[in-house]
Amino acid sequence: MIVIPAIDLRGGRCVRLVQGEKARTTVYGDDPVERARAFVAAGARRIHVVDLDGAFGDGSNLDVLRAIAQAVEVPVQTGGGVRTSADVRARLAAGAHDVILGTVLVEQPEEAARIAREFAGHISAGIDARGDEVAVRGWERGAGVRVETMLERLEAWGIERVIATQIERDGTGRGYDLDFYRRICERGVPRVQASGGAGSVDDLRALQALELPNLEGAIVGRAIYEGTLDLAQAVAELK
């Protein structure tokens, strides 16, 4: 299981939200590119970039994504506001290796299935849940779709990587919802990344202790920025 540091972008700056709420935003720096370089220097083998402006429908950070991808030599995965084939194509052209679909999975399933076929091997699914309900539109509302239903759709569409977030844990440092990830992994998803809740390396140890072979990584954000988790130590320990 690898540690995947997160860079959430809002107005070109590094930020973190608590439980996805705009009003609970903390700015952690004005240079996302240098932050990405520092993550790789600490041993990160993949970078997770979220365009929050795209997710909320009020802007884009495509140029910042391009600069990050050009600055590092590890795969960059990105999501936030991806709705069409053109959106996916633009992110891949900017240097992203994987593009994460979210809202479109629920609101336009036929389009999502077509995108998955067109860009096979480069599409991941973002499942963001409150309890057992999938949330959409930057986590601003529930979709009325259960997590298990969404996983069935993804299997049919051939999407093999899921980035799963339990929203109530995100940005809180309370640890990951272990039962949530166990259930998802036991559904047979080939690759699962856990996102939301890490407060220390102990939380990563708890995830790894589940011994789920398809749990490929843990995405960490606020804990790194606030210094409660040392990325280099975590990378070395989980290797």
Beta strand pairing call for 2-10 and 13-18:
antiparallel
CB neighbour list of residue 149: distance below 8 Å, 6 or more residues apart? none
- Report the distance separating Cα 52 and Cα 23, nearest Å: 13
Out of 87, 128, 170, 203, which one is annotated catalytic? 128
Across 80-225, where does the E strand assignment appear?
98-101, 123-130, 133-136, 141-146, 161-166, 191-195, 215-220
Q: Do residues 38 and 47 touch, judged by C-beta distance below 8 A? A: no
**Which DSSP category does 122 fall into?**
S
Q: Is 128 a known active-site residue?
A: yes
For the question of residue 8 being annotated catalytic, the response is yes
| Cβ atoms 162, 192 nearer than 8 A | yes
User: Who's near 107: CB < 8 A, 6+ residues apart?
Assistant: 136, 143
Which residue, chain included where needed, has tokens 């202790």? Answer: 209
**Phi and psi, residue 224, nearest 5°:** -70, -45
Both structure tokens of 28? 């952690």
Q: Could you tell me which of 185, 130, 22 has the C-alpha nearest to residue 194?
A: 185
Using alpha carbons, select from 128, 124, 138 the residue that is nearest to residue 59.
Answer: 138
Active-site annotation, residues: 8, 128
